[in-house]
Amino acid sequence: MQILKNKKILISAGPTWVPIDKVRVITNIFGGTLGLLIAKEAVKQGAKITLLMGPGPYSLFKSKNKKLKVIHFKYFEELYHLMRKEISSKKYDIVIHSAAVADYVPIKFYEGKIKSGKKNLVIKLKPTIKIVDQIKKWDPKIFLVKFKLEVNVSKKELIEKAYKSMLFSNADLMVANDLKHMKGEKQKAFIINRKKEIIYCGEKKEIVKNLLKIIVQNYGK
């Protein structure tokens, strides 16, 4: 049974780069594996997917399936403009925003290459725009799935922070993770809806299966 038949879904995955100079960037450790798995499974469930994939292990990934369109990006600014363009088109039913988006960007961009050999190098940062907080402004009818990562917090604290974050962004579902539980396929997560009903998942495949099922259960409500 194709539970997502004809649903149009936009998925973001992977890290974002922010440039320091012409050759250096700030990034993070995430590769986009979960987002790619979600995209592949959603296609099997009948959905039409546009996958925005950041730099990393899958930067060369191409899809031969007509229902899975892949757009590669590298930089935060690229992702921001892609998300705004795609969502503002009003052609999507669902957005799954799993990308590990940069929270800060250097105030100053150095033209060329910063010379080596400096005893000290201070790079001042400023916050980036929270893309996830713009999504419902671009299209209020979108069903939005947000992801939240915390580090070394209790289960109760993780769920409380994730739930508040979901409401703040006007998201419909939240996938909450703690870094200490993200170890390959054994990644643990909690999926939370707006009624604060919680589903625990113990591995990536379980996250994918449950997330798509819960999206169908909550979509349109």
Confidence band, pLDDT 50/70/90 cuts, at residue 32: very high
Residue 210's pLDDT is 95
Residue 183's pLDDT is 67
Tell me: pLDDT of 2 over 90. Answer: no
Percent of the chain with pLDDT over 70: 96
When pLDDT is averaged across residues 1-22 and rounded to a whole number, the result is 92
Question: What letters, b where the CB count within 10 A reaches 16 and e where it falls short, cover 164-188?
Answer: ebbeebbbbbbbbbbeeebeeeebb
Answer yes or no: are the C-beta atoms of 204 and 175 closer than 8 Å.
no
Distance CA 18, CA 8 (A): 29
Residue 1's pLDDT is 63
The model's pTM is 0.94
What's the whole-number average pLDDT of the chain? 92
Distance CA 160, CA 177 (A): 12
Tell me the pLDDT tens digit for each residue of 56-92. 888 888 888 999 999 999 999 999 999 999 999 999 9
Phi, psi of 93 (to 5 degrees): -90, -35
Residue 184's pLDDT is 61
186 or 7: which carries more pLDDT confidence?
Answer: 7
Total Cβ atoms within 10 A of residue 110: 16
* Three-state helix/strand/coil letters over 78-96: HHHHHHHHHHHCCCCCEEE
Residue 221's pLDDT is 62
Among the residue ranges 33-37, 118-122, 177-181, the one predicted with the least confidence is: 177-181
Tell me: pLDDT of 152 over 90. Answer: no
> What does DSSP assign to residue 45?
T
On the 0-12 / 13-18 / 19+ scale of CB atoms within 10 A, 131 is: buried
Tell me the pLDDT tens digit for each residue of 181-210. 766 667 889 999 999 999 999 889 999 999
When pLDDT is averaged across residues 146-158 and rounded to a whole number, the result is 92
